[in-house]
Structure 1
């Protein structure tokens, strides 16, 4: 299997992971899955030199990280 086909499958996997994340009712699960999908899209975008795809998804990674940190800090301070 050549490199281009592997990266194509990474793109498909990223799409599926993001789609599944958007079906989560638990916000923590949504953020974690979305983070993973966005990270896959960053790798995919860089690999195929689609820099706008990588940039937007890197921004999404930062957003997911921000909210995950916020969620975990709020849950630990209320305990």
Structure 2
């Protein structure tokens, strides 16, 4: 992947993360944040294995997936 495409993925990731702070519905927040974290993981991989970017965002992906897939308890 070209460095230019990786840079655009990084910008998209930042946009999704910021957008997740604007939303009010928790499910939408988690989905948009998950997309941003996935983009950051891809960015970290294609920008030279940036582990400080990959590791926390991968963990957040798993956390968001857990809460999205776990049924609500009342």
Number of residue pairs matched? Answer: 73
With the length of structure 1 as denominator, give the TM-score of the two structures: 0.85
Which residue number in structure 2 is paired with residue 27 of structure 1? 26
Runs of 4+ in 1 over 6 A off after TM superposition: none
Extract unaligned runs of 5+ from structure 1.
none
Which residue number in structure 2 is paired with residue 68 of structure 1? 68
Distance 2:39 2:29 in 1: 15
Which residue number in structure 1 is paired with residue 46 of structure 2? 47
With the length of structure 2 as denominator, give the TM-score of the two structures: 0.90
Confirm or deny that 1:36 pairs with 2:35: yes
Distance 1:47 1:4 in 2: 8
Distance 2:46 2:2 in 1: 9
Extract unaligned runs of 5+ from structure 2.
none
Q: Which has the higher contact order (CA 8 A, sep 6+)?
A: 2
